[in-house]
Amino acid sequence: MHPTSFSGVMNEANIQSLQEQLSKAQTFQCYAYDCHEEYQDLSDEAYPTALEAKRGEITDWILEQCRTKRSNLYITAPVAVRVAE
């Protein structure tokens, strides 16, 4: 465990019981929890279909991340780090 935080995938229905277990700890305190992303259990075959369904949303997000002050110009240099942030 990280000294100040820990994370992982879990069902939201289990959050309350986890908090109860963590509240019994004697070496640390759990002050809060955050839910950041929803994970889907997809098969290898279903994943491309799910991505295709979000193609427009993904494209719009990438273009927004690569936009410059000029409306007709976009960043064309490697953007993997920028997009990953």
Going 72 to 56 to 66 to 47, the CA torsion angle's sign is negative
Q: Is residue 24 part of a domain?
A: yes
Q: Is 21 among the domain residues?
A: yes
Predicted pLDDT of residue 81: 61
- Tell me how far apart the alpha carbons of residues 65 and 26 are, in angstroms, rounded to a whole number: 44
Average pLDDT estimate for 14-25: 88
The per-residue pLDDT for 57 is 94
- Residue 32 in any domain: the answer is yes
Provide mean pLDDT across the span 38-48. Answer: 88
Rounded alpha-carbon distances, angstroms, from residue 30 to 3, 18, 38? 12, 10, 22
Distances (CA, A) of 52 to 17, 55, 61, 62, 75: 37, 5, 14, 15, 24
In this prediction, residues 5-33 reach a mean pLDDT of 85
Q: Is residue 6 part of a domain?
A: no
How many domains does the chain contain in total? 1
Which residues form the domain of 36? 12-84
**In a domain? residue 19:** yes
Q: Is the pTM of this model over 0.75?
A: no
Band the pLDDT of 49: cuts 50, 70, 90.
very high
Residue 26 lies in a domain: yes
Indicate whether 16 belongs to any domain: yes
